[in-house]
Amino acid sequence: MIKKGIRFDWAAQKLLRDKANFDILEGFLSELLKEEIIITGLLESEGNQEEEDDKFNRVDLYAENSKGEHIIIEVQNTRELDYLMRMLFGTSKAVTEYLDMNAPYSDIKKVIAVSIVYFGLGKGDDYIYVGQTKFTGLHTKKELQLTKTQQKLFNKPSIHQVYPEYYLIQTTKFKDIINDGLDEWIYFFKNSVVLDEFRAKGMKEVREKMIVHNLPDDERKRYNRFLENLHTEASIADTVRIEQEEKTEQKVKEEKTKWQIATAKNLIKLGLSDEQISESTGMLLIEVQTLRNNINANK
C-alpha cells in the first residue's frame, strides 16, 4: 500500500529537530554517505531557528555527528540562480562559526553540506553530484597527499576529507527508477510517498513517524498550512516570471516599432512605394500610408 508521507522540508522544521527522531536523519545520511552516521545533536545556528509563521521556501538543519563533523542539510524549493554561491557562503560560515577564538586551525570541524533542491543547478543529467576539494599537481597531475603527521593531526587520511564536502540532490532530475537505498530516499523527497518495498535505512522510522494520517489533528492543520504557503510561493514566483516576460515582450515590441518607423522614414525619403516599404519593414500598409501623410503634412 502506498503511504503518503510528510514533506521532508516540513519534517526538518517540525519533527527532525526532536532527538527522538534523529534516527530518520541518521538513516538518510547513512545511505548518502555510505557509512554509519549517528547524530549527537543540533547546532545552534540561524539556519535551524523555527518560527510558527515561517513561510520561507528554504529549510536549513544543522547537526553534528558522532565524529564531530558538522552537517548542513538544506531543502530549497524555489529556483535561485546564485544558489551555488550561497552554498559556499553557508559552509564558510559553518567553518568559522564553530571555531573558538583562540583555537588552532587544526580544530576546524569538517563540514558536510547536503542540498535537496527542486530545480536544476546547472547543465548535467545526473540527480546527485558530489563536490570535494583536491589539489592536483600542475605538471605531475598527481594528487597532493597528507603526511603521516598531518593525518594524525587531522585524524583524516586524505586532504579532501578535511575540507568541506558538498552533496547536491536534484529531485527534478530523478526518474523514479530505484536501484538502491539512496534512491528510495530521493523518491521519497520527490514524491512524499513511501512504498511498501522500501527497505533503506531509516525508512521504517519514516513509516512510523512521517505519514500524514498519523499526525495529530493540530499538527496536520499546521502541515496543511505549510503546503498552502508553498502553493502561494509557487504562484507568486510564476506571477513574477510572467510579468517579467510580458515586460520584456513589450520592450521588444516597442524597440521593433521604433526601428520600423525609422526605417520606413528613410525608405520614404528614398522614394520607395508604400507597398515596398510595408514589405521591407513588416508594417501594415495603412501604417505606412499614415506615416507618409504625417511627413507630408509637416513639411
Over residues 275-297, the pLDDT tens digits come to 999 999 999 999 999 999 999 88
Q: pLDDT-based confidence at 73, cuts 50/70/90?
A: very high
Cell digits for 141?
A: 597531475
Domains of the chain, by residue range, sit at 3-214, 235-297
Specify the pLDDT at position 1.
Answer: 60
The Cα 119–Cα 241 span in angstroms is 15
Read off the pLDDT of each residue in 105-117 and give the average, rounded to a whole number.
93
Read off the pLDDT of each residue in 257-286 and give the average, rounded to a whole number.
94
Specify the pLDDT at position 239.
Answer: 84
Report the DSSP beta bridge partners of residue 58: 76
Read off the pLDDT of each residue in 170-187 and give the average, rounded to a whole number.
96
Pick the residue with more confidence: 53 or 278?
A: 278
Specify the pLDDT at position 160.
Answer: 93
Specify the pLDDT at position 57.
Answer: 54
The Cα 120–Cα 81 span in angstroms is 10
Over residues 80-101, the pLDDT tens digits come to 888 999 899 999 998 988 888 8
Specify the pLDDT at position 108.
Answer: 92
Q: pLDDT-based confidence at 2, cuts 50/70/90?
A: low
| pLDDT of 240 strictly over 90 | no
Pick the residue with more confidence: 241 or 57?
A: 241
Read off the pLDDT of each residue in 188-215 and give the average, rounded to a whole number.
91
Min mean pLDDT across 32-36, 115-119, 233-237, 278-282 is at: 233-237
How does the average pLDDT of the chain come out, rounded?
A: 88
State pTM to two decimals.
0.74
Sheet holding 70-76, edge to edge: 39-42, 58-65, 70-76, 111-117, 165-170, 128-131
Please give the share of the chain, as a percent, with pLDDT higher than 90. 61
The neighbour count for residue 289, using CB atoms within 10 Å, is: 14
| pLDDT of 49 strictly over 80 | no
Pick the residue with more confidence: 216 or 151?
A: 151
Cβ atoms 162, 112 nearer than 8 A: no
Alpha helices by DSSP H, the chain: 8-14, 22-33, 83-97, 148-154, 181-191, 203-209, 217-269, 274-281, 285-297
Cell digits for 168?
A: 547536491
Pick the residue with more confidence: 100 or 47?
A: 100
Q: How far is CA 3 from CA 9, 85, 175, 194, in A?
A: 18, 36, 20, 5
Cβ atoms 146, 156 nearer than 8 A: yes
